[in-house]
Amino acid sequence: MQWVFILVGLSSIVGSILLGGAEPFLDLPSAVFVLVAGCGFAIAAHGVSAIRAAMAAAFRSSPIEDEDTDLHVIVLQTLRNSLCAAGAAGFLIGLVTMLARLSDPTQVGPAMAVAALTAFYALILSEVIVAPMIHRLRVRSEVRVESESISATGLEQ
């Protein structure tokens, strides 16, 4: 059910963009920069298999051991932070490019767009995609711990 509302949220963002015209929001180099740099740093920290396992665990609904949950949360938090860092780096690159081209006003707007779009893409990836995955893992772990403690105390009837 959570993914339905994530899709509703994403649809509202995409719908708003489309109403104003999607072209200004499409910049492949910015998207590739954020995705490759963000994922690259996370892979450097944890490896491809750990990222893949954490993402699979977030989408799975079967129980996970607490130790595994903690590791998956750490891996996804690293991915989230790396995406944000890539967005910040892309923003600064765009800002430096913009400031370097202040003598030509026609170049200022596109450079500022690159700066803003890298931050936008990082925000969408980290906060709309990865953050709910982290939350889902944490909630599943808490529900499991609560049900185990209820069973252990004999309060379940």
CA distance 10 to 14: 6
- Each residue's pLDDT expressed in tens, for the chain with a length of 157 residues: 667 887 888 888 888 878 877 777 888 889 999 999 999 999 999 999 999 999 999 888 777 777 789 999 999 999 999 999 999 999 999 999 999 999 998 988 888 988 999 999 999 999 989 998 999 898 877 665 555 555 555 555 4
pLDDT of residue 2: 66
Task: Name residues whose C-beta falls within 8 Å of residue 150's C-beta, 6 or more positions apart in sequence.
Answer: 156
Coil, helix or strand at residue 74: helix
Determine the Cα angle at 52 with ends 28 and 13, to 5°.
40
Rounded to the nearest 10 degrees, what angle do helices 66-100 and 28-46 cross at?
Answer: 140
Neighbours of 103 (CB within 10 A): 7
What is the model's pTM? 0.78
Q: Would you list the domain boundaries of the chain?
A: 26-151
pLDDT of residue 141: 77
pLDDT of residue 148: 57
With beta carbons less than 8 A apart as the criterion, state whether 78 and 42 touch: yes
